[in-house]
Structure 1
Amino acid sequence: MEPVLEASVRNLVGEILFRYGSIDVFCLYLRGLLDAPTCELPLVGAVATGRHRWRGAEPVDQ
């Protein structure tokens, strides 16, 4: 392994151990983030004009 890469890996592992105490706790934290429900954004109306319009949208009267 290259010395720079090895130092980066050591720094990363050191930060993880400092913040979480162990690699296992860090992995559980990451799994919790994946399993947590996401926030669904509300659906916005289709854009009927412009470059990014939805092709099936009806034109908007202006």
Structure 2
Amino acid sequence: MSSEQELREIKETLKSIDERLAVMENNEGDERPFWLNFLIAFGVVLTAILLIVGISVFIGKE
């Protein structure tokens, strides 16, 4: 009796894992390409540098 219950639980676990994998495969197409991620990161870094330089120049004038 317990072995049948264990088999049922294992089947349910495998089914849920299979469903999660299917969801993950569907979400893979939504990821941004590498070059777009690189451009976004480059823009963020450039903005931060310009902001720091601008603030330091503004403080230096006073």
TM-score scaled by length of structure 1 = 0.29
Determine which structure has more spread, i.e. the larger CA radius of gyration: 2
Q: Which has the higher contact order (CA 8 A, sep 6+)?
A: 1
